[in-house]
Amino acid sequence: MSESKLRELVRRRGSLKAKLTHFSNFIRLLPGTGLDTFQAAELECRLDSIDNLYKEFNVLQTELELLSEDTDEMYDEKELFETQYYTQVARAKAMLTKTRSSSPALVSATSADDGPHHGSGCKHDFVRLPKIDLPHFSGDYQHWLEFRDTYLSLIRNNKNMRETNKFHYLRAALTDSASLVIKSIDFKADNYGIAWQLLCERYNNERLLINNHVQALFNFEHIQKESCSSLRNMIDVTNKNLRALDTLGQPTEHWDTLVIYMMSKKLDTLTNREWEEYKNNLNSLPNLKDFINGCDQFVVTIPLKDSPECLGDSYAMAKR
């Protein structure tokens, strides 16, 4: 009986370790130069969840240590888990601190409801966090995924916020054609779910979203002359749309050759020549990361003719 129980506990512990590994991988893929609004919000949510993960691990580990005869192995497992846990949590908190210090205007929308919440099952430090402004959505399919995911994280999935407040945030965030979708709906708690459903039915169209993001890559205008701002914009557009397509389930990890060919043809003559020389020095077929790294280096060599922004930090890598 104890052996069966032991195997079950080990299996459950393995599941918790896998979740910690997922959290570590998420941290690793975040840009080291600073987080945007959505990334900071998602990291805060994951950080809350990881606190519960540690509590669950301790309960399981205690049971395992009582049942197992190999105490040395159990202690080694615990030490490895704790080392990884504290390292990743410290790294996450450092990234959030850096983001808040560089972007003091960002404030958590969740703090705008009823103040501190208790009994949520998560441990919260009683520190006023910078606010995160909920982005506006005008009806442009290019911005739907970012808006949807941010709104879900900050507002809709917040169990401590009243439906009327969620409806208020939704109405305040919508502009132009998007606001017309729910304009005729009476403002009351019972209608909030209907309003959100109507909005999703209009804009959460996978086929249209995929077409829109692919079209954005094809339609990017050719860069006429050397320009660090234009080059950076091209990389930002490429990264943004590939991330969106990846979120939509498209196999973007297999598109490197096609994307590199398509976007390199949009480079100006001089920068394209530099790219040809750069890839000829590689030992293998270039991937998208190589293309981004190359363009990042080209920005440094371009004379600062157009704007001081050329002195800024390197733009973020695509999540691959």
For the segment 55-101, what is each residue's pLDDT rounded down to a tens digit? 888 888 887 777 777 767 777 788 888 888 888 888 888 888 887 77
What is the arithmetic mean of pLDDT over 3-7? 77
Type of residue found at 104 = P
Q: How far apart are the C-alpha atoms of 235 and 242, rounded to whole Å? A: 11
Q: What is the pLDDT of residue 126?
A: 41
Report the DSSP beta bridge partners of residue 137.
Answer: 174
Which phi and psi (to 5°) does residue 137 adopt?
-130, 125
Cα atoms found within 13 Å of the Cα of residue 230, Cβ hemisphere only = 19
What's the CA gap between 75 and 81, in Å, rounded?
Answer: 10
Q: Look at the block and give the residue holding tokens 């530099």.
A: 274
Domain limits of the chain?
2-102, 141-204, 208-311
pLDDT digits (tens, 9 = 90+) for 125-167: 445 445 556 778 898 888 888 888 888 888 888 887 888 888 8
**pLDDT value, residue 111:** 44
pLDDT in tens, 226-242: 777 888 888 888 888 88
Whole-number Å distance between alpha carbons of 90 and 96: 10
Question: Bridge-partner residues for 131, per DSSP?
Answer: 107
